Amino acid sequence: MGVRHAAEPLAIVMGSHGRRNLANLVMGSVATKVLATTQTPVLLVR
């Protein structure tokens, strides 16, 4: 049996509540941070 390597994901699927409040504007959302830091395609579902 050979060594198995982790495969790169084809896409990231995330749920979003779409809330827009002062805390979100100051800190940002998790979805926003993922979109800004990954090169993998991201699908946001609301």
pTM: 0.60
How is residue 29 written in tokens?
A: 């959302």
Q: Show the CA angle centred on residue 19, arms to residues 17 and 23, nearest 5°.
A: 130
Q: Please write the tens of the pLDDT for every residue from 3-42.
A: 666 788 899 998 877 666 666 655 567 888 888 899 999 9
- In eight-state DSSP terms, residue 28 is -
Reported as a pLDDT band with limits 50, 70 and 90, residue 45 is: confident
